Amino acid sequence: ETGVTQSPTHLIKTRGQQVTLRCSSQSGHNTVSWYQQALGQGPQFIFQYYREEENGRGNFPPRFSGLQFPNYSSELNVNALELDDSALYLCASSSLEIGGPSAYEQYFGPGTRLTVT
Amino acid sequence: AQSVTQPDIHITVSEGASLELRCNYSYGATPYLFWYVQSPGQGLQLLLKYFSGDTLVQGIKGFEAEFKRSQSSFNLRKPSVHWSDAAEYFCAINQAGTALIFGKGTTLSVSS
């Protein structure tokens, strides 16, 4: 069974630039959620994708956008980067279709560390 | 609004001693409850979960947690801590199958 993978591992960008982060879900999972974890904080929910559609969104501005592809992999795009966007970005996969509470278990990738200068 | 509180920011425990990490939640009903562990620079690993039924749940790495509805708590315990348990621990609740809501975490240090 393949776990959740994310790329790249680290990224350095300049304020105002755009960035794309990628995530491949665990085999058998069709749902991807993205989280932002600032230093010393717990992860904050950005959004979730299910069947290639956004299925819930946290309190993040529209410059945070995403995509999910037919193979269930996903991208997180952030436009007009700000210094406060520096964080660890975590992707988590799950499967809303398996039914029951197990559908709510989310399994995380290693994250992408984004530094905005 | 739903929230998770982990009152202890940092805990130091001697190797071999017992451990309890506290977690309290605020939610209209009984949520699904989770504990995750994060090693430095790594992603989160699921330790255990509570959905319903027996209020004492067992997880990986010898951890267990007890759900107490009357206290809105879901505390994590381990009878004997190993040096490799040093990490950041997060309690989380899941609302409606989408967002996990996390506490701010507790850093566990293990002294020899």
- Residue A25: name the closest of A49, A60, A58 by CA: A49
B 77-96 residues with CB < 8 A to A = 90, 92, 94, 96
B15 band by pLDDT with thresholds 50, 70 and 90: very high
Torsion angles phi and psi, residue A112, rounded to 5: -120, 125
Query: Chain A within 8 Å of B36 (Cβ-Cβ)?
Result: yes
Which tens digit of pLDDT belongs to each residue from A10-58?
999 999 999 999 999 998 899 999 999 999 899 999 999 999 999 999 9
The amino acid occupying position A117 is T
Q: Contact B96/A107, CB-based, under 8 Å?
A: no
Which residues in chain B have Cβ-Cβ distances shorter than 8 Å to A55? 98
Return d(Cα B62, Cα A70) in angstroms, integer: 38
Q: Please tell me whether residue A39 adopts helix, strand or coil conformation.
A: coil
Q: Is the model's pLDDT at B59 over the cut of 80?
A: yes
Burial of residue B95 (CB within 10 Å: 0-12, 13-18, 19+) is middle
Position with higher pLDDT, A96 vs A25: A25
**pLDDT for the residue A1:** 61
Q: Contact B49/A110, CB-based, under 8 Å?
A: no
| Residue whose pair of structure tokens reads 């799950």 in the numeric block | A94
DSSP A63-116: TEEEEE-TTS-EEEEE-S--GGG-EEEEEEEE-GGG-SGGGG--EE---EEEEE
Which residue intervals of B7-97 are DSSP H helices? none
CA B37 from centre of chain: 8
B70 band by pLDDT with thresholds 50, 70 and 90: very high
The tally of CA atoms less than 13 A away on the side-chain side of residue B2 is: 17
Return d(Cα B89, Cα B74) in angstroms, integer: 13
Q: Is the model's pLDDT at A109 over the cut of 90?
A: yes
Find the CB nearest A56 among B45, B99, B102: B99
**pLDDT for the residue B57:** 96
